[in-house]
Chain A
């Protein structure tokens, strides 16, 4: 049976005065999945605080760059250009902005809070509120150029510090990916640094 509070939408709206979009579904096993999109990413911390007070647990964080919508047909001569497509809240959907989902568990039910951040933008860290945000935020910072503000330990998590960041935002040649393990170039690199054996 669902334990998601009936007034959850009102509680979220109270914590996010800039506005929210809310929807929820209940499956045939009575499990609720709710989605709350924030109009302003600046409302993330108060929403996180409110959910913490309700006993929510942060399951994980998903970050990605939604693809830009197809370009609209060229306007006729003299017509103004069509306005850019935006996410809820006004961030332009140009394929380079970030959609960040915070998946909270409320005793079995799931609430996903979504925030949008434009290219080169940043978002507050939830780690001071939820320890479970630590690793997902560090991982997000090494996969994307996204900056997480006030993270207590913004170190690399999985990707070595010698590798350029934002690995999900660029093409990495296979030989680089496997650290040249499939060719003789790693041997040549070592020889160049240490010198050939005498």
Chain B
């Protein structure tokens, strides 16, 4: 058997966004992977220091579309810490609702794409159709299907009245049997199992060594979820089960996402049950932001998202740095792809739910 180098990307049918992989193979087996990034580097970390604190809420939402709610949320949390702003309880619950709605849609999207890569097109279309219900929810409640504009400094920019609560509950009720059916299918269907069990394994030790986060970590036995370990918004008042599996393969990562989508529905219901009355934002005025620095973390669909913000006496931040979950998970991809078959490359890459716009900023 001969050795070859296969270029995958930067523009490739199996990649949602541009990334270039140089894959050295021996016959059909992957020997080594070199990742060449930077194709959608937009210099947003520079741009953010040229806009004022409030404009940046809008800018951070545009870093990525699938976790677009997590960026302005973590950014706002950091600014609120610096300014000593206390977010009203109703806004904390509404933030958690927005977070979980995005999580359901994001996880179902990834699991749907897995079915597509496995070649199970009817399942792909079914999962995307089920996910469409959450897209409708976003459009009805927030007025947008991806960038939902839910967050502002000091609270949220949306509210839900009893009529919309009723609509949301009805959508969730309709979604539950569909999601449970999909979970059952991914548990038992041989087309899925044959292509995902034992594929792209990341061991527990490697997961800790790479410092991976989110479903990639939890599928390898790492019990870490920001919503539990460092609660924010209303999560300290919610029952948040953390799903952990131990095989670290593609299937485990998909199952973690499916179970978390199911849990997210319960979390939205918990929020609706306990939603307190009161204002949705700390102050109607734009608050003055004093000099200072802060760290904020939240659990984006792909895992821990961390923001560092430094303010001086200017209305523009001196530095904003954020690290998205995918940024750490790329490194683990090299381990997952070692000794993999060429035909599994796309499935393994998709299994870390990579977000390239987020990674490169």
Contacts and interface: CB of A to CB of B under 8 A. Distances in A.
Contact of A62 (B37, B81, B231, B319): B319
Contact of A108 (B43, B229, B321): B229
A110 B74 CA distance: 14
A157 B306 contact: no
For chain B, give the interface size range: 35 or more
Nearest to A32: B230
B38 A160 contact: yes
A158 interface: yes
Given A64-B319, A158-B37, A158-B38, A135 B230 contact: no
B331 A110 contact: no
Nearest to B232: A29
Nearest to B327: A135
A177 B38 CA distance: 13
A146 interface: no
B49 to A, nearest CB: 9
A198 B185 CA distance: 61
Given A29-B232, A131-B211, A110 B295 contact: yes
A168 B306 contact: no
Interface stretch (A9-17, A38-46, A53-61, A187-195): A53-61
A159 B361 CA distance: 12
A109 B304 CA distance: 13
Contact of A159 (B41, B229, B297): B41
B43 A177 contact: yes
A81 to B, nearest CB: 25
B211 A64 contact: no
Contacts of B312: 67
Interface string A169-185: 00000000100000000
Contacts of A108: 226, 228-230
A110 B295 CA distance: 8
For chain A, give the interface size range: 35 or more
A135 B330 contact: yes
Interface in A45-97: 57-60, 62, 64, 66-67
A29 B308 contact: no
B46 A168 contact: yes
A31 interface: yes
B310 A64 contact: yes
Given A101-B308, A103-B308, A66 B318 contact: yes
Centre residue among B43, B230, B360 by max chain A CB count within 10 A: B230
A177 B330 CA distance: 26
Given A57-B211, A109-B230, A33 B295 contact: yes
Contacts of B310: 64, 66
A190 B312 CA distance: 45
B236 interface: yes
A130 B208 CA distance: 10
Given A62-B319, A62-B321, A132 B308 contact: no
A59 B325 CA distance: 10
Contact of A29 (B45, B46, B231, B360): B231
Interface string B200-216: 00000000111100000
Contacts of B128: none
A24 B330 CA distance: 32
Interface in B308-361: 308, 310, 312, 318-319, 321, 323, 327-328, 330-331, 360
Q: Closest 4 CB pairs between A and B? A: A108-B229, A60-B323, A158-B38, A132-B211
Given A60-B308, A64-B321, A103-B308, 14 more contacts: A27-B81, A58-B211, A64-B310, A101-B321, A110-B297, A130-B211, A131-B211, A132-B331, A135-B327, A135-B331, A136-B323, A156-B38, A159-B38, A167-B43
Interface of B: 37-38, 41, 43, 45-46, 81, 208-211, 224, 226, 228-232, 236, 294-295, 297, 304, 306, 308, 310, 312, 318-319, 321, 323, 327-328, 330-331, 360
7 contacts: A33-B295, A57-B211, A64-B319, A107-B229, A132-B211, A156-B38, A157-B37
